[in-house]
Structure 1
Amino acid sequence: MSDTAPVITRGLTKRFRSGQVAVDSVDLEVPTGSVFGFLGPNGSGKTTTIRMLLGLIAPTSGSVELLGQPMPKAQLAVLPRVGAMVEGPAFYPFWSGQANLMRFDAADRTSDPRTRKARAGEALERVGLSAAAGKKVRAYSLGMKQRLGIAVALMQRRDLLVLDEPTNGLDPQGTREVRGLIRELAADGITVFTSTHLLAEVEQVCTHAAVMSRGKLLRQSSMVELRSELRPRLVVRTPDLGAAAETLTGLGVTDLRRQEETVDGDPGELPIDKLAAALVAADVRIHGFGLERPSLEDAFVALTGEGFDVAE
């Protein structure tokens, strides 16, 4: 693999004829060997960005490089090294899963027909569909079709795998299996770029993440960096909100917020025992006291101003 980042965009923009700006000046850089989570609420521009990355639609402006080469100019050289599943897989419904895989592989001018059947079997086994290899795809569940779409992307060795909502339609067991598969692929040296609106995907699988909202890229960083920025907050549960807030402000606690029977704020480097003693001395009734680290959900929602589907 090249030392160049597998995915680079500069000022990537897509404006439709209606005037809608679906993607607005996005700069992305995906590290080699990472599991990169492209996170955002539904309708935030993720799929449109992916379609531009793969040369499926042309950007209005800006540039894309995949595996160190410009797209779509170099797509004939680049795309054989890229596996992709975008906007849900489409298959021949009256063919079996294995027959579909072999048909897709036959359309790839770089594939070896002598190993096609063996590679189809290996891909089906890797995504847990060996038992359904001979079943017609019209009898597959949505989750099985998702797995078959990933199997198509795995028919050949890839340097980059692009997955658009790969766990869509999967039950909890299937979701865990796909997460495990993504980790295995990354361990094999494949860079995985996966879009999702599920925060759990990013938390449990990804090494890096980018956050999209309303077509704009709000943030990209490593997950280690993001977690390190989540400063713990002092949380005091008390019916004496006014007295508690006044006492904590006087001690230097900042960014105070009041909710029903709760005051929380940023204590900085202030000793927690000193804060507790001061509240007791001020006759503040304490029903709960401690430091709580904000969740990644809090961080992402704060960035976008929108909620995420955080379900499994």
Structure 2
Amino acid sequence: MAPAIETRELTKRYRGGQLAVDRLSLTVPEGAVFGFLGPNGSGKTTTIRMLMGLITPTAGTAQVLGRPMPRATRTVLPHVGALIEGPALYGFLNGRDNLLRYDSADPTADPRTRKMRVAQALDRVGLTAAAAKKSKAYSLGMKQRLGLAAALLQPRRLLVLDEPTNGLDPQGMREIRTLVRELASDGTTVFLSSHLLDEIEQVCTHAAVMAQGRLITQGPVADLAATTRGRLTVTTPDTADAARVLKEHGVTLTETTDTHLKAEPPPPETDLADLNKALVTAGVRVRGFGVERASLEDAFVALTGEGFDVAG
């Protein structure tokens, strides 16, 4: 099965020499929930704009649903729902009329079922009660929901979402995650860009990590975390002595209580058995010693040496 999205050496350099995306080779499997992960300014939105034919690459190639972009824009985009850089809304129209306007601009949309599909889209994003309210009075989170509803007016093979939970409260975030999972279970490929590691880890099957315009890694989410050591935990009543020994072995502590210590993942060259032995030899009464399962945050820090927002 051909990938839903595939790029080869995709590059975008703006006037003045700014290199926004640097030789990106990306593969998004058909049917995946693919997290496109990176700090703000890492090149995610520029990449999405090239994939959707909104801007032209400086070099390299991009294929979406098996067709070259931007050359095949008219063929591809009817099968793609997208929410990029926030929705463009008519502030003087209410939520329902905005969607009716969006739908009427789609030459593939059946006008006979327009009102029904608009009502269904509003219901899926939780905006039925606010459908008669003018969109200029919507909060940022409500605008994000309405933009997502516009992307869902028609069945889509591919859904591209750029920071879809911007402005949403925790409950709204959970609802969007649930919706993404439902869409994926129906066979839609979802390409989800975010700077929130926790969001990607909860909902995505695959992910790619971007930093400063370059691809750092990509693959199944479980595999990305499996290649990295998780955080170290030690249970002991001798926390002061344990902290001293750990620091001597290059381990960075993150949390200390009367009976527990937590630390950043030990350096790759550190043998965990030797570290435990060093604690015991120093007279530390070790009652628990282990390494937690690595998270995407741990993997990102290990790969790039830096971190970013992780809240979900």
Same fold (TM over 0.5): yes
> Which consecutive residues of structure 1, in runs of 5 or more, have no partner in the other structure?
247-255
- Does the C-alpha gap of structure 1 residues 90 and 198 become closer, same or farther in structure 2, counting only changes over 3 Å? same
Percent of counterpart pairs with the same letter?
59
Could you tell me how far 1:227 is from its partner in structure 2? 2.8
- Does the C-alpha gap of structure 1 residues 245 and 46 become closer, same or farther in structure 2, counting only changes over 3 Å? closer
After superposition, the CA RMSD in angstroms is 2.5
Partner of 1:185: 183
Partner of 1:155: 153
Q: Distance in 2 between matches of 1:52 and 1:205?
A: 24
Deviation track 1:188-233 (CA, whole Å, cap 9, x = no partner) reads 1000001000011111000000000100010001012123223356
Q: Is the 8 A contact 2:95 2:135 kept in 1?
A: yes
- Does the C-alpha gap of structure 1 residues 284 and 42 become closer, same or farther in structure 2, counting only changes over 3 Å? same
Partner of 2:203: 205
Partner of 1:118: 116
Amino acid at match of 2:250: R
- Quick one: which of 238, 241, 265 aligns to 1:239? 241
Deviation track 1:130-166 (CA, whole Å, cap 9, x = no partner) reads 1111111011110000000000000001000000000
Could you tell me how far 1:238 is from its partner in structure 2? 4.8
> Which consecutive residues of structure 2, in runs of 5 or more, have no partner in the other structure?
none
Q: Residue 239 of structure 1 aligns to a residue in which SS?
A: helix
Deviation track 1:42-72 (CA, whole Å, cap 9, x = no partner) reads 0000000000000000000000100001111
Q: Distance in 2 between matches of 1:209 and 1:276?
A: 34
Structural mapping, 1:61-140, within 5 Å: 61-140=59-138
Partner of 1:250: none
Partner of 2:9: 11
Are 1:305 and 2:298 counterparts? no
Could you tell me how far 1:285 is from its partner in structure 2? 2.8
- Does the C-alpha gap of structure 1 residues 139 and 108 become closer, same or farther in structure 2, counting only changes over 3 Å? same
Q: Distance in 2 between matches of 1:259 and 1:123?
A: 49
Q: Please identify, of 130-139 and 287-296, the stretch whose mean Cα deviation from structure 2 is larger.
A: 287-296
Could you tell me how far 1:277 is from its partner in structure 2? 5.9
Q: Distance in 2 between matches of 1:179 and 1:89?
A: 19
Could you tell me how far 1:308 is from its partner in structure 2? 1.5
- Quick one: which of 167, 170, 176 aligns to 1:169? 167
Q: Distance in 1 between matches of 2:34 and 2:184?
A: 10
Q: Is the 8 A contact 1:153 1:161 kept in 2?
A: yes
Q: Distance in 2 between matches of 1:257 and 1:278?
A: 13
Q: Is the 8 A contact 2:228 2:302 kept in 1?
A: no
Q: TM-score, normalised by structure 1?
A: 0.88
Q: Residue 251 of structure 2 aligns to a residue in which SS?
A: strand
- Does the C-alpha gap of structure 1 residues 271 and 135 become closer, same or farther in structure 2, counting only changes over 3 Å? closer
Amino acid at match of 1:290: F
- Does the C-alpha gap of structure 1 residues 77 and 277 become closer, same or farther in structure 2, counting only changes over 3 Å? closer
Q: Please identify, of 107-116 and 38-47, the stretch whose mean Cα deviation from structure 2 is larger.
A: 107-116
- Does the C-alpha gap of structure 1 residues 60 and 285 become closer, same or farther in structure 2, counting only changes over 3 Å? same
Q: Is the 8 A contact 1:238 1:286 kept in 2?
A: no
- Quick one: which of 220, 225, 228 aligns to 2:226? 228
- Does the C-alpha gap of structure 1 residues 277 and 216 become closer, same or farther in structure 2, counting only changes over 3 Å? closer
Q: TM-score, normalised by structure 2?
A: 0.88
Q: Residue 35 of structure 2 aligns to a residue in which SS?
A: strand
Pairs aligned (count): 299
Could you tell me how far 1:302 is from its partner in structure 2? 2.4
Amino acid at match of 1:258: V
- Does the C-alpha gap of structure 1 residues 92 and 244 become closer, same or farther in structure 2, counting only changes over 3 Å? closer
